[in-house]
Chains A and B, each alone.
Chain A
């Protein structure tokens, strides 16, 4: 494991170029280019605000927007993880370097996108004059989510090399995960509801995204539920995901060259 980190550090220049490439290719051939990173969340807020008022959806817009932006970081990583290895077959079959750099750089590029969309969200929240809360938690929340995103990306990017069923599995996983996370409903809905069997509640709070999304709301909106201890739980689970991901990926990467 230490050797892996050393190798990754030695190839940091490669990782940087790959992050740059990831970002560049996403907006290549588009007229507005990088502005889409900012325009995306802006339109997202606009559209949701229109529909929330039309549908009289019982949720506060800032709460919804923070949840969706946070969810999008994971969703983008899951979607991109399919092609992190398969889409770089030309690099994998032609040269040797720690393969983990490919999904790692993809997650890093999505992190950059995520942070940029944060700017839009913060601007929006400032306009809305919300009560900012525990902003000092932000670095810790972002680290937690990064670890989680990397972990699942490693698993799915390796899996897609061997099983093309991965693509279909991911869309199902994403849908179920989305509703298992308090994105478009407040967490109170689950916390105050006693009808769920205990194991559903356990699974719900073991889902690191529950803690992560709630923590963003704590930081930005002074939400009180469900407390910092859930962020700590999410942190632990996310790092478990990351290390399992690294372990499985390291095993699988030996066969990438034969499969691609």
Chain B
């Protein structure tokens, strides 16, 4: 068996696949511009290349369902259109085995002027089904879509829900080997979503292959055998749904934290480094409650400064203040400082509810008139608390 041997149960094989788009100002190139390009290759206007997908590798086996997640613009829909064959990869290869039916970007290829019935037959013909085969499936399609009354109306009069329902019904009823679905679950009502999921499950049981894009993490986790996490055109992870989705969620948290970050101040004292350590002195981002934390704040004072105030605060993921304190409140004498040094903050018990928090550090003047340096929400941490309680903070209490 050679390395290139491909299991015959592999239905989709994507190898080192990349897709580049050319960005232009207007939708379509003018003939003039392209003649100028041809005649004067040196003066070629700088076109911006945009790599929608870079070096993608994965396989999907027969009977497997792959969920694709990622932020908007990560390349999910482009990936699906490449698999559907409506776009061609710039490099690398895509191999698919069997008939493919797809519901890309919210809608089948329906013609607005034609009726629902005519469009159903058109979609069937695109899939390569004969009129007779479509006759046999027609009733099931109409029933699944629940649009009996409107089937002979032009689809331009359909609501977006009806449009997607009919699209989904056709896509599944044409009996493909591979089904590609882009965000169908977010459109229909709950009733239809339930019907879709039921249909997808029975599809899975028949040993068919599915690729699904959804922002509904809960549903996609329950349907998928594997999850592919895309970010800015690259695969961040592929594998077990639970772990990939938790990666994705923590990734999204960090992205969200970035938007809350702020750094400001006059700079007469600068916080040069903050080390978050456990009681053994190991740097960490994840802490269990009940264990002491040592935070070492290094700073550099350019001038002699008398009695600066060092402060810190803890905020939740949304930036809502949970706790804050400083050296002045605690009556800790910082004295006169000059040059490089550090100060240590010890928290004996970080008794917060399990969750993600953002730490801020600051140094300001004794009279609060001058902010030397502030690092707002710069340090994300995670706290795991084994105790069960209500709310955000555990207070040491006793019942008598």
Contact = CB atoms under 8 A, between A and B. Distances in A.
Interface size bracket, A side:
20 to 34
A90 B109 contact: yes
Contacts, number: 90
Contacts of B88: 254-255, 257
B87 A165 contact: no
Interface in B351-379: none
A94 B107 contact: yes
Given A14-B125, A18-B122, A257-B87, 12 more contacts: A24-B114, A24-B118, A91-B126, A92-B86, A93-B86, A93-B109, A94-B104, A96-B86, A96-B100, A163-B34, A165-B32, A257-B88
A250 B86 CA distance: 14
B323 interface: no
Nearest 10 pairs between A and B by C-beta?
A96-B85, A94-B109, A14-B125, A257-B87, A91-B109, A165-B31, A257-B86, A163-B31, A13-B125, A254-B88
A131 interface: no
Given A94-B108, A163-B29, A257-B81, A17 B125 contact: yes
A18 B110 CA distance: 12
Contacts of B81: 93, 257
A23 B125 CA distance: 17
A95 B107 CA distance: 10
Interface stretch (B128-136, B140-148, B308-316): B128-136
A163 to B, nearest CB: 4
A224 interface: no
13 contacts: A13-B125, A14-B125, A16-B125, A91-B111, A93-B86, A95-B109, A95-B126, A96-B85, A96-B86, A162-B29, A165-B32, A258-B21, A258-B87
A109 to B, nearest CB: 14
A13 B29 contact: no
B320 interface: no
B109 A13 contact: no
B86 A94 contact: yes
A139 B84 CA distance: 40
Contacts of B105: 93-94
A13 B131 contact: yes
B158 interface: no
Nearest to B110: A90
B113 A17 contact: no
Contacts of B2: none
Nearest to A164: B28
B61 to A, nearest CB: 22
Interface string B179-209: 0000000000000000000000000000000
Interface in B93-115: 100, 102, 104-105, 107-111, 113-114
Interface of A: 10-11, 13-14, 16-18, 21, 24-25, 28, 88, 90-97, 161-165, 169, 254-255, 257-259
Interface size bracket, B side:
35 or more
A94 B80 CA distance: 10
Contacts of A258: 21-22, 87
B102 A94 contact: yes
Among B102, B122, B130, the most chain A Cβ lie within 10 Å of the Cβ of B122
Contacts of A259: 28
B121 interface: yes
A13 B123 CA distance: 11
Nearest to B102: A95
B84 A25 contact: no
Contacts of B21: 258
A165 B31 CA distance: 6
Contacts of B130: 13
Nearest to B88: A254
B25 interface: no
Given A94-B109, A95-B126, A21 B118 contact: yes
